[in-house]
Amino acid sequence: MNIKERIEKRFNKKMLNFQRLLEMVEQQMDGLVVENEAEEGENIDTEGSGESEKLNFSGAKFYKTAMNSFKAPTEQSGKMGTDERQNFQKYITRNIRGKTLAEKIDSINTIVNGEPDSGAKISEIMGALGALKMLQETLDDFNPSTAGFLFEAFLSGLLQGEQVTDTVGGTLPIEDCWFFIDPKTGDPGQPVSLKLLKHSVTIDGSLDNLLGFFMKPEIAAVAEEKGIEYIVATKTRKNKLDLYSFNIRPSNFFFWIEERYFDFSSLASENIELREHLESPEVLEANKQRWENAFLRSRAPMFGLNPSEVEFNYDWKNEGQWKSVVKRPSYSRAGAPQTAEIMLSPAGKKSFASWAKADFGMPPNLEELVISSELEAEFFSEDEQVSSHASVEIAKIGAIKRLSAYYRSIEALSYEVHEAPQHIQRWYGANKSGDQYVESDVVRYLNDMVQDGSAESVIKWAQTLESIRLKTQFEIRPVSVRTYSTIYGTIDPNRRKILRTLQKYSSTLAKSCAPIYEELERFTRYINGYYMQNRTGDAFKASESAEQLSEHAKELTSEVEK
């Protein structure tokens, strides 16, 4: 009698054949099949080890048996209809709650960080930890380039998507995947570019491909609605993954993509409509003069500045340094008396009172900018030491507190107001910073071009940018992503973390789940020993193991009947 007949004979006595046993295991445990032999054992410290010992449960053993089939994904996980994709959806996607990536991450972390008595199902525990194990093996076993490619396949499987692997013109397009594809409606879903990077690595991409993406009619039609989503997974110091998201659309293109990649000057010189949009040098000069005159006439004395001695400074590094347009008055012991005298003069008091009543963004602590009658009296004291001390205190109010408060009060003024800082900033841009002024107006012109959101305007916009493109690649600083994007969450694909979590759920897994998988691993090993290594004794061991599997399967049926 051969091994197959021996096993069948034993099972037929129990009214349960071997095929039926496997079907029951599949139904109860979502069909996970152990594919490889177990690794060597390992010890790990866990919480709740007393309960685990009582149940004779080992998280490490469960990892090597029940979870052995959770391997790093291949390209097949990112393709609709493949066997690997169907298994991924059965065992991972459907067992991790949530529709969006943020919700899926939250569900995984709920399992990992949850309490053993939280009522989590075995399928949810294994689905969440199986996903972490797949990511763990992806990060541990492959180089960064391959890991990034497999990460795309993983998320495509998780989010009902499809990985893009076909080249266009010899290169891959800007979109790596499409998520949330609806085969019933034909909706292609959300185009996504994925990046798996170290914490400090710059996010880069092809400008040619990005603009080409927006030139596609089917993309241009929904460019403002969907754009292209960038999902950036950054590896932290302990190999956790922080997942960030931002969308690039025509309307926010220059928030993420720097102007330096384009020749805006050539566009401004060639485009009649844009040239008419730019302010003339004469207008810029006149607006700057009005700002300076308003400052000298109405504001300088309140800071202790003599209007006839003020010299305006435009040697800035960039437009953000506009607050250095005027040198602060002195508040040293030597210069403070003159500063205080101007502030306390009728012109100084009138200047401050006028500003305090203005419809600007006034500070809530305006009273701190008022010179008290006591401090003023001390300044006019005949005691030289008292007067000197008072002059320094008054000068500090003017040079530091008042001037800073004034700048803050005019920052948000509209362009129509003479004291708005835009007038000196724009003059600086046109006269001191080369193409910066031109760039600001070109960006405004380009943004106006796509204001109606039509496919035609988006395509024209992308074609215009392509015609003045200087660089082939763009870069986005990681600090910008961390600061301005949406954070989906953090996941920890760490082997020891997975083992600790398994040990934590020992009371759930040890009852019927773990014994079946451990016995199934032994049964497979004995079958392989008999056929592949010619060990005849393994035939009898396989027979005994099959009998034990039958007993475990009976326990499954009793659980179902309950």
pLDDT in tens, 386-425: 999 999 999 999 999 999 999 999 987 766 688 988 888 8
Of 21-35, 83-97, 209-223, the poorest mean pLDDT is in: 21-35
Residue 177 backbone phi and psi in degrees, to 5: -150, 165
- In angstroms, the CA 407 to CA 419 distance is 10
Q: How many degrees, rounded to 5, is the angle at CA 529 between CA 524 and CA 531? A: 95
| 3 pLDDT more than 70 | no
- In angstroms, the CA 271 to CA 251 distance is 21
Encode pLDDT of 509-528 as tens digits.
888 788 889 989 999 999 99
10-33 average pLDDT score: 44
Of 355, 225, 374, 258, nearest to 301 by C-alpha is 355
Residue 4: band (very low, low, confident or very high) from pLDDT cuts 50, 70, 90: low
| 15 pLDDT more than 60 | no
243-271 average pLDDT score: 85
Written as one string, the DSSP assignment of 97-139 is --SSHHHHHHHHHHHHHS-TTS---HHHHHHHHHHHHHHHHHH
- In this prediction, residue 9 carries a pLDDT of 53
- In angstroms, the CA 152 to CA 173 distance is 14
Q: Secondary structure of 16-58 in the HEC alphabet?
A: CCHHHHHHHHHHHHCCCCCCCCCCCCCCCCCCCHHHHHHCCCC
Residue 327 Cα distances to 290, 303, 335, 345, 352, angstroms: 19, 11, 13, 20, 18
Establish how many alpha carbons lie within 13 A of residue 157's alpha carbon, considering only the half-sphere containing its beta carbon: 34
- In angstroms, the CA 59 to CA 54 distance is 14
pLDDT, greater one: 226 or 278:
226
Encode pLDDT of 159-215 as tens digits.
999 999 887 766 789 999 999 998 788 788 999 999 998 878 899 999 999 999 999
Of 39-53, 95-109, 242-256, the poorest mean pLDDT is in: 39-53
- In this prediction, residue 8 carries a pLDDT of 52
- In this prediction, residue 341 carries a pLDDT of 96
Written as one string, the DSSP assignment of 415-467 is TTSTT-THHHHHHHHHHTSTTHHHHHHHHHHHHHHTTT--HHHHHHHHHHHHH
DSSP 8-state class, residue 96 = S
- In angstroms, the CA 344 to CA 394 distance is 9
The number of angstroms, rounded, from the C-alpha of 212 to the middle of its chain's C-alpha atoms is: 24
Establish how many alpha carbons lie within 13 A of residue 328's alpha carbon, considering only the half-sphere containing its beta carbon: 18
Residue 53: band (very low, low, confident or very high) from pLDDT cuts 50, 70, 90: very low
Of 231-235, 275-279, 372-376, 519-523, the poorest mean pLDDT is in: 275-279
Q: Find out whether 523 and 545 touch, Cβ atoms under 8 Å.
A: yes
Judge residue 479's burial from the number of C-beta atoms within 10 Å of its C-beta, 0-12 exposed, 13-18 middle, 19 or more buried: exposed
Q: Find out whether 443 and 259 touch, Cβ atoms under 8 Å.
A: yes
Q: Are strands 228-235 and 190-198 parallel, antiparallel or unpaired?
A: parallel
Could you tell me the pTM of the whole model?
0.64
Backbone Cα Rg of the chain: 36
Residue 255 Cα distances to 325, 484, 490, angstroms: 27, 10, 25
